[in-house]
């Protein structure tokens, strides 16, 4: 966390040196746990960028993908957004390396999630999703780890995009949210795993993309390519007021709860990989 949010600062699209430093750090971490590590490089506006990809478990007809972006907005530290997701990805890799997997799980650290590339074909996740289409890869589920480190026990600390949601979800930001499109059961299943295997409260929501924030991360790139995907998040600016500011620093995050998020995702994958082979 400290390395990504302080040593690799800034890590926006203009600072490719720091982006490469972060990518090298992630590549080294993956190499200590993954069966195979690849760099997916591409060019955007005459600069080269890279996704870092770790492969776990045997090749299978369908794969699970877990991803998190490692770039940050402007020159801000981006500890919660999204060094927290990357740290979760690295820890998940350690857990997967010790598990007996019957299906392949692919971990991807993405570049260029933030503006000005957000919602463009040059998002790292868009490049990766399109490569899956080109290679006819079947995806069981993509899971985006997008800001998983900020929690609060203060009453009223949780805000919502729609007033009706106040009737359905707690007003204390002490839980993790799992977000999906309408009419699927994936978010519910992951929520159940987190609630079953940890004492961190998890809530799920199935909502249309018209609700602000529902598609504000890399899972959007997979939705756009007709792959199933969910986002696991502390709800970003609906809770963490340090979002996209200089105050988004590593000392404000809850590492115990972050570890519970990761463990819940791990148990979900462990319980479901044999069903996707």
Domain architecture of the chain: domains with CATH: 2-275 (3.40.630.10)
Q: How many Å is the maximal CA-CA distance in the chain?
A: 49
Q: How far apart are CA 43 and CA 188, in angstroms?
A: 37
Q: How far apart are CA 124 and CA 217, in angstroms?
A: 11
Q: What is the CA radius of gyration of the chain?
A: 17
Higher-confidence residue of 277 and 186: namely 186
> Is the confidence at residue 277, as pLDDT, over 80?
no
Q: How far apart are CA 71 and CA 68, in angstroms?
A: 9
Note whether 93 and 267 are within 8 A (CB). Answer: no
DSSP 182: T
> Is the confidence at residue 275, as pLDDT, over 50?
no
Which ranges of 32-157 does DSSP label H, i.e. alpha helix? 84-97, 124-134
- For 199-244, how does the pLDDT look when each residue is reduced to its tens digit (9 = 90+)? 999 999 999 999 999 999 999 999 999 999 999 999 999 999 999 9
> Is the confidence at residue 27, as pLDDT, over 70?
yes
Q: How far apart are CA 271 and CA 118, in angstroms?
A: 33
HSE-CB for 105 with a 13 A CA cutoff: 31
Note whether 101 and 58 are within 8 A (CB). Answer: yes
Token couple for 107: 């971990």
Give the pLDDT mean for 150-163. 97
In 3D, which of 81, 67, 62, 43 has the Cα closest to residue 222?
A: 67
pLDDT attached to residue 274? 58
> Is the confidence at residue 3, as pLDDT, over 60?
yes
Query: Which pTM was predicted?
Result: 0.97
pLDDT attached to residue 273? 86
Phi, psi of 112 (to 5 degrees): 55, 45
Q: How far apart are CA 90 and CA 56, in angstroms?
A: 12
> Is the confidence at residue 5, as pLDDT, over 60?
yes
């Amino acid at each position: 966390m400290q390395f990504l949010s302080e040593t690799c600062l800034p890590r926006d699209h203009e600072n490719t040196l720091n982006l490469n430093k972060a990518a090298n750090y992630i590549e080294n971490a993956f190499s200590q746990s993954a069966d195979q590590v690849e760099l997916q490089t591409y060019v955007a506006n005459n600069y080269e960028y890279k996704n870092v990809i770790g492969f776990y478990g045997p090749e299978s007809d369908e794969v699970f993908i877990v991803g998190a972006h490692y770039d940050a907005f402007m020159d801000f530290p981006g500890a919660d957004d999204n060094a927290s997701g990357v740290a979760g990805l690295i820890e998940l890799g350690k857990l997967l390396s010790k598990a007996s997997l019957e299906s392949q799980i692919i971990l991807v650290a993405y570049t260029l999630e933030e503006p000005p590339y957000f919602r463009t074909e040059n998002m790292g996740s868009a490049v990766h999703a399109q490569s899956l289409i080109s290679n006819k890869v079947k995806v069981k589920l993509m899971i985006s780890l997008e800001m998983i480190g900020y929690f609060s026990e203060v009453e009223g600390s949780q805000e919502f995009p729609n007033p009706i949601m106040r009737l359905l979800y707690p007003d204390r930001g002490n839980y993790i949210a799992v977000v999906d499109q309408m009419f699927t059961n994936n978010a519910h299943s992951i929520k159940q795993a987190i609630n079953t295997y940890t004492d961190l409260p998890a809530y799920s929501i199935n909502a249309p993309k018209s609700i602000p924030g529902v598609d504000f991360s890399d899972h959007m790139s997979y939705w756009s390519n007709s792959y199933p995907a969910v986002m696991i998040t502390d709800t970003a600016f609906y809770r963490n007021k340090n979002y996209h500011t200089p105050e988004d620093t590593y000392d404000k995050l809850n590492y115990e709860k972050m570890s519970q998020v990761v463990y819940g995702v791990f148990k979900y994958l462990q319980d479901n990989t044999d069903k996707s082979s």
